[in-house]
Chains A and B, each alone.
Chain A
Amino acid sequence: MTARSVIGRSIPRLDGREKTAGLTRYAGDLRLPGMLHARLVLSPHAHARLVRIDTRAAAASPGVVGVFTGRDLPLARPDPADRGRCPLALDRVVFAGHPVAAVVAETEAQAEDAAQLVRVEYEPLPAAVDPLEAMRPDAPRVRAAGEGGDATEALAAHGAAVGGEVAAEPAAPNVAGTTGFTRGDVERALDEAPVVIARTYRTSMVHQGYVEPRAAVASVDPLGGLAVWTSTQALFHTRSQVAEALGLPEHRVRVTATPIGGGFGAKFTLLEPLAAALALATRRPVSVVLSRTEEFLATTPAPQSVFELRLGAGRDGRLAALDARIVFDAGAWAGAPVGIAALLLGGYYRLPNLRIRGFEVLTHKPGVGAYRAPGAVQATFALESAMDELARTLGMDPLELRLLNAAREGDLLPTGRPWPRIGLVECLERLRVERARFLAMRPPAGAGIRRGVGVAVGGWMGGIEPASAVCRLDRDGTLTIVLGMVDLSGAATGMAQIAAEAAGVPLEDVAVVCGDTESAPFAGSSGGSKITYTVGLAVERAARDARRQILAIAADRLEAAAEDLELVGRSVRVRGMPDRALTLAQLAKGSMEFGARYEPVFGRGASATTARSPAFAGHLVEVEVDAETGRARVARHVVVQDVGRALNPAAIAAQIHGAVAQGVGWALLERLAYDADGQLRSATLMDYALPGIDAAPATLETVILEVPTEHGPFGAKGVGEPPVVAAPAAIANALADATGARFTDLPITSEALARALRAAP
C-alpha cells in the first residue's frame, strides 16, 4: 500500500454531485425519436377468470398505436407460472393489480386515457389472501395442478437460496416450497428445558419504497435486435430474461442499466420483457413507467411472514433447543426467502437441538421479491425478540445471554457446515461498551414519557457470484475501469478506490464505466451485498494487471528491471533516480499511436470466490413512548457493524443511516394492508406510511468494526444488507423495555402500544 492510501478514506460518491443537483437522467427521462408510451390495465380482482377483453374503444382513441393483451404479445412461450415470461395475464388474474392489457400511444396521456376505455369482463373467483388460510384444504388454489411457478433469481442473487432438507409435514394446498433443518432431539430438549419461550411472531408485507418507480424503455433496430434501457439492479439477468421471453439469442438483446433511484433488492426484472415485446410489436421504441399506485399494486413487495417459535434454555442461559415453524407468503409466484430465514434463525446461536420447518405459500397477492436482507429481517425479529424475552425471564443481561450462546468460527450452521470467521462476538462486545456509555448519558425520565432500551444483533451470509473487470490505460495516463455491474449506493466509488490503490495512481485519475451487456465484462446482479466483495476483487486484479503492464513498458523504455521501478504520482521512475522517469501519459501514448511498439495496457481481472464472508451488525436503541397515546419514536440509535475492512467509511455510514430508517419503517409504520378479498387498502403514499425524516432517530451513531476476511478486496465484506437485519428487532425490544409488554407483530402501532400500556401496571 502506498503512503497515501485511498483505502479507508471517506470519499464522496462519484455520482453525488449529479444526483444532488438533479442532473441524473433516469430511465423515465429517456426520450428516443418516435418513442411511444405504454400504460397498463390492471385487474381489480384478486382472483378471476378473464372472460373477454374488448379493446375496440381504446384502439380507436386518439393517438393509440396498439392495444395488447397477453394473447397479442410476440412472446416465445408465455407461461402463466413464470411472470417474467408472461407479463400480461392470459386466462386468469391472480392478484388485484395483475396487468391484463397494455395500451401503447403517442403520448403518455393518450395511453392513460385509452387504458380507461379497455373493457374487461371478469368472472370473479374466491381468493386466498392470508397465507395460513391458504394452507387449509378448502383454500382456493393459486396455481392449477401441474403448473410450476418460480421467481427465485433475485433471491438466489441475494445469497438466499441455501438448500436444506424438505420439511416433513403433510402437503398443504398452495405450498410452493418447503425447507427444513433438524439437529438432535428437540422435543426432549424442550421438555427438559427449565425455561421455554413460546411465541408466534408476524411481520407484514412491505414495499421496498424506492423513490424512482420502475421504468423501462425498449427499442428495435432495423435488423430486429433489441435495446433495453431500464432501472435494474440485474443487468445480465435481465438480458437473459428478455431473450428467453422473446425467444431471441442473448446477443440480439442489449440491456443498459440506467442510473437507479433506489432498488433495495426489488429491481431485478419486471417490465423489461413487456417493454421489449411492445417494441417488437409496434416496431417503435416504447417506454413503460409505473405510477406510484401501480408500484404498490403490481410489483414485487417483501413477503409477510409467520414464525412460531419455541426456544428452550437452561437456568444458566445456555440454549437447549429451538423449534420453529416458518410460513412465508410468496404471493402469486414462488420465490419467498424462507431458506435464508431458516438458516439464520438456527445459525446465530449455538443450538444443540433444533428443528426448523419452513413453508412458502402462494396467495392471491403480488409475487414477492427481495428487499434488503430478504428473510433475515423477519427471522431476526422473531429470534431476537425471543432471546430478549428469554433474558428477561432468566433475569439475565440480554447482551450477556447472547454472548454466552453466540456462534463463533467453526460452530455449525443448521446446514451442518461451519461458520467461517465472523464478527458476531465482536459486535456484541462492542455493544456492551457502547451501552455503558449510552446509559450513562440517559436523559431523565420526563413526565408522561416511557423510555426503554433494547438490543439486537443480526447478520447476513453475503452473496457470491463470479465477476470480471477490465482496466484500460488511456492516452492521457488515466485509468478507465469497465464493468458489467450496476452502480448501486456508491459501489462504483468503491471500485475507483480499489483500482487507484491496486494500480498506484491518484483516485481522481480513475474513471469507472458501468457498461451495457454488449460491451461490458460479466458481473453479477447488484444485490446480496456482493458487489464490492466479488467485483471489487476482479477490479483489484485488473488494476494490478494493468500496473504490471505499465511497469513492463516502462522497464523496456527506461532500460531498467521492472522490480527497480516505482509508480509515484503520475510517473514511473527508477527507484532512487528521479530523473529517469516517464509519465503515465508518455507510456500510454507509446502504446496507442501510429507505429507504436507496445501493446496497449489492458488489465484483466476476474473472481469466482465460493467463500462467503458473513457480516453482523448490532443495534442499541432507546425509544420514547407517550404513556397515554402510545406514540413511539426512536430517540437514540447506535449501530455497530463488522465490515471486514472499511473501504469508504462515509459510504458505510450512509448505508447504516438508510438501513435504520428502513428499520423504523418495518418496526413502527409500514404495512401493505390487504382486505379479506385481496384488495390493497394502502396503494398510495398517503395510505402507506413510509417513514419521513421526522421518524428517523433523533441521534444516530455508527460504529465500524473491522474483522477482516481473507476473501474480499483488502479484507472487505459486503455492507449493504447487514445493518437493516436487526433494526426492527432492537426497536421492538426497546419498546418491550419501555412498556413491559412483548410485541410480536410488525409494525408495532401506537394502538398496540397504547393497549399494552393500559394493560401494564
Chain B
Amino acid sequence: MMRLPPFTYVAARTLAEAAAALAEHGADAMLVAGGTDLYPNMKRRQFEPKVLVGLRGIRELAGVRGSAREGLTLGAGTTLAAVAAHREIVTHYPALATAAGLVSSPQLRNMGTLGGNVCVDTRCNYYNQSFEWRRAIGFCMKKDGDVCLVAPGSPRCWAVSSSDTAPALVSLGAAVRLVGGGGERTVPLAALYHDDGIEYLAKRRDEIVTDILLPPVDGWRSAYLKLRRRGSFDFPVLGVAVAARLEGAVVRDARIVLGAVASRPRLAEKAAAALVGRRLTPELIAAVAELAAGPSKPLDNTDFTHPYRKKVTRVFVARALRALGGLGDAGRAVEAIA
C-alpha cells in the first residue's frame, strides 16, 4: 500500500474553527474524526485532500444527551463503541445499538464515530482496491476514471452505501443537525443522502454533521440485521433495519430501511405501509418481506452475488418483523446471522 501523502492537519477546537477551515480550503479539505475509513482511503488515493480538519478536539461533538422519553441527541463524535454500549440506546433504540456494535471490529469501533459512519464513503468491488489495481483496470468514474466498471453504459456510479448505522437511524426517524456556512439546519437523516455513488451526501461541502437526533421512543421497537461473509470486520453487503410501533399485535406505524442495496439507505415504503393497521401474523410478515425485497436491487459489486443478497433481504425483513412482534425463533436467528 502507498503511504499517506503529505497534508495539513487543522486541529479544530470549536465548531466555528472547523467550519472556518472548511470554508477556507473548499474542495481541498475533508473532515476527519476517527479516521478509520478516511486514512486507508487516502493511502489508496481514493481521497486526496490537501487539508484535513480534525474534529477530535471539539468537545461539544462527543456524548449523548437527553432521554428516550424526550428524545436523544447524539454528538457526531460519539464513538461507535459508546453508542453500542449506551444503556438508553440499547434498551430503547436497539436497531442503532446493534448496528453500531456490528461495525468492523472492536478496535475500529473504539476509534470510529457515529458521524463518520453516517457519512462513510460508498463502496464497490472496483473502487475499494489499491491504487495499482485500479490503475491496472483503467480506473472507474468514482475516482480517476470515466466509466462505471459495474455497469459500463451507466451515466452514474453504483457504489453502495455501506453504513450500518444509517439504515438503523433512518428507520428510527432520526434527524441530523448540520452546522456551517454561518448557520445551522436540521433535516431528516433520510434527506442527507442521494442515490448516487459519488455524490451520495446531500450536504454542502462546508457543513459539518454535529448531532444525530433521535425522536422520543414513544412505543417504537426496532431491530437491525446485517449480512456479511464473516462475523466481524466486514462491511455490510445488506443491512435491514425495521422499526415499528405496535398496539398489542396491531401495527400502528412502521419503517423498513435497507442498507447496502443502493447508493443510499433505501426505504421500503410500500412494505411498511402494508403493515399499518394490521395484525403482525406470519402471513402478513411473509407478504411484507416480499414487498420489501422489491426496492432491494443490488448490483454485482460487493461480496456475495446480488440474487443472494436480494433473497436474504426477504429473510431478514421477516426475521426483523418476527423479532418486533415477539414471534418464534427471531432471537435465535438474529444471533446466527450477527
Contacts and interface: CB of A to CB of B under 8 A. Distances in A.
Interface of A: 42, 44-45, 96, 109, 112-113, 116, 291-293, 446-449, 624, 626, 628-629, 631, 633, 669, 679-681, 683-687, 689, 691-692, 694-695, 749-751, 754
B288 to A, nearest CB: 16
Given A692-B230, A692-B232, A695-B230, A447 B136 contact: no
Contacts of B315: 628-629
Interface stretch (B67-75, B127-135, B216-224, B259-267): B127-135
Contacts of B7: none
Contact of A291 (B1, B128, B229, B336): B1
Contacts of B336: 448-449, 624, 626, 631, 633
Contacts of A695: 230-231
Contact of A113 (B3, B235, B311, B333): B3
B233 interface: yes
Contact of B332 (A292, A449, A669): A449
B234 A683 contact: no
Interface in B108-133: 125, 128-130, 132-133
Contacts of A687: 128, 303
Contacts of A113: 3
Interface of A is mostly: loop
B312 interface: yes
B229 A694 contact: no
A692 B231 contact: yes
A630 to B, nearest CB: 8
Contacts, number: 83
Contacts of A109: 3
A686 B333 contact: no
A204 to B, nearest CB: 14
B332 A293 contact: no
A356 B232 CA distance: 42
Contacts of B233: 685-686, 692
A569 to B, nearest CB: 49
A449 B125 CA distance: 31
A686 B1 contact: no
Interface of B: 1-3, 125, 128-130, 132-133, 135-137, 227, 229-235, 303-305, 308, 311-312, 315, 328-329, 332-333, 336-337
B337 A629 contact: yes
Q: Which of A42, A116, A628, A681 has the most CB of B within 10 A?
A: A628
Contacts of A448: 329, 332-333, 336
A691 B229 CA distance: 10
A749 B328 CA distance: 27
A516 to B, nearest CB: 32
12 contacts: A42-B132, A44-B132, A113-B3, A626-B337, A628-B312, A633-B336, A669-B229, A681-B125, A683-B133, A686-B233, A687-B303, A754-B312
A628 B329 CA distance: 13
B3 A446 contact: no
A313 to B, nearest CB: 36
A633 B336 CA distance: 9
Contact of B136 (A45, A291, A449): A45
A341 B129 CA distance: 35
Nearest to A747: B229
7 tightest CB-CB pairs across the interface, nearest first?
A: A44-B136, A694-B231, A447-B329, A628-B315, A751-B308, A689-B229, A112-B3
A689 B311 contact: no
A291 B232 CA distance: 22
Contacts of A631: 336-337
A750 B311 CA distance: 12
B230 A691 contact: yes
Nearest to B329: A447
B304 A446 contact: no
B20 to A, nearest CB: 32
Contacts of A633: 336
